[in-house]
Chain A
């Protein structure tokens, strides 16, 4: 729920790129055991439905990326996407 609130603050034009980058972090992560089963199932269902760029889908991706690759995710938000407030909110979630 908290991640859904954060996602609402992300400009629409940056969502597709964010979704793509977060997916890369998640799929390439070696820390896959950190992924909770229910979050993985949510991710797969949303992917099946083509919903990973929706607010709900982005919230799932963001939560998973923070769990698996926290530093990379914050760096992406702060530097590449210039989403400083989002990065700050994510850090507070940790």
Chain B
């Protein structure tokens, strides 16, 4: 049965994010993902509070990266959270975002290798033994905890490019794909399958998770209005190969890029087309959203993540998802 996750960007006060996290648990969501960016509230402080105020929802960073937080500290944070909320913790790990990393003066060196090595260190440290490891990016020299971790924690790999998708299928317990359209999921699942088969696993062994830009409202125009700013940023940040896959007008996207760079948000948001909304969001009335989720399920996902903006009113939209969308898939 499909799982429903929800993603929050902790840019608001902690208590607001935790309010929505409690609501998500009450309303039947299975997973809670908190993004990790230096310019928002700290992911582990947010997750700690989520652990305290929830009882059954599974949660984790979605996603952290090995550059700003050393792998040893990531495994320490997750192992500690696993004590606070036993069996409810997962790790979401990716290579990070180049622009954000650049702003902190951190170089994204050998991203694929960095993620693979992080996962190796993560799993070894959770065995509770002394770890000695000499990688190309990271190393550990007799590194061990002074406490006994509870055990292994599922690892979801955030992946976009073909190599990372294959690797995620090969070594991950789950894969996080930033995609809202079946074409993108279809492409990703193809690569994941390759990795899965190389590892002698089945696709069903991996939780294929679509991280979508989502917006729901009973009035479709209100849902779209809320999705526009997020879609503008996604379109502007997408490589041409993806834009072409969706038949999006490159000139329009260039216009958005220019406007965003100039800080002219009116112009940028005004240039978002219906094609872009379709390509980069799951958006509309509950019935329309159900239709789009069904298409993603057919493309091979096993977890659907409701991501920003969620809707024009986050609280009301979570209720709407719970009342009209989740029951359709969890009868």
Q: Name the B residues within 8 Å of A45 (CB-CB).
A: 53
Q: Name the B residues within 8 Å of A48 (CB-CB).
A: 22, 53-54
Assess whether A27 is interfacial by the CB under 8 Å rule.
yes
| Per-residue interface assignment for chain B, residues 38 to 60, with 1 indicating a CB less than 8 Å from any chain A CB and 0 otherwise | 00000000000000011000000
In the complex, A50 Cα to B14 Cα: how many Å?
Answer: 19
Assess whether B34 is interfacial by the CB under 8 Å rule.
no
| Per-residue interface assignment for chain A, residues 39 to 51, with 1 indicating a CB less than 8 Å from any chain B CB and 0 otherwise | 0110111011010
**Of the residues B14, B26, B315, contact of A24 by C-beta under 8 Å:** B315
Interface of chain B: mostly helix, strand, loop or mixed:
helix
**Of the residues B16, B22, B26, B53, contact of A27 by C-beta under 8 Å:** B16
Q: Which residue on chain A has the smallest CB distance to residue B26? A: A50
Distance between A49 CB and nearest chain B CB, rounded to angstroms: 10
Assess whether B313 is interfacial by the CB under 8 Å rule.
yes
Q: Name the B residues within 8 Å of A23 (CB-CB).
A: 315
In the complex, A23 Cα to B16 Cα: how many Å?
Answer: 11
Distance between A26 CB and nearest chain B CB, rounded to angstroms: 8
Assess whether A85 is interfacial by the CB under 8 Å rule.
no
Residues of chain A at interface, number, CB under 8 A: 15
Distance between B56 CB and nearest chain A CB, rounded to angstroms: 12
Which residues 1-28 in A have Cβ within 8 Å of B in the complex? 23-24, 27-28
Is the CB–CB distance between B315 and A43 below 8 Å? no
Is the CB–CB distance between A35 and B313 below 8 Å? no
In the complex, A35 Cα to B15 Cα: how many Å?
Answer: 9
Is the CB–CB distance between A40 and B15 below 8 Å? yes
In the complex, A33 Cα to B23 Cα: how many Å?
Answer: 22
Assess whether A75 is interfacial by the CB under 8 Å rule.
no
**Of the residues A32, A43, A44, A50, contact of B12 by C-beta under 8 Å:** A32
Please list the residues of chain A having a beta carbon within 8 angstroms of any beta carbon in chain B: 23-24, 27-28, 32-33, 35, 40-41, 43-45, 47-48, 50
Q: Please, could you name 11 A-B residue pairs with CB atoms under 8 Å apart, sorted by A?
A: A27-B19, A28-B313, A32-B13, A32-B15, A32-B16, A33-B13, A44-B15, A47-B23, A48-B22, A48-B53, A50-B26
Given contacts A47-B23, A48-B22, 14 further A-B contacts (CB under 8 A): A23-B315, A27-B314, A27-B315, A28-B313, A32-B16, A33-B13, A35-B13, A35-B15, A41-B15, A44-B22, A45-B53, A47-B19, A48-B53, A48-B54
List the 3 closest A-B pairs by CB distance, nearest first.
Answer: A40-B15, A32-B13, A48-B22
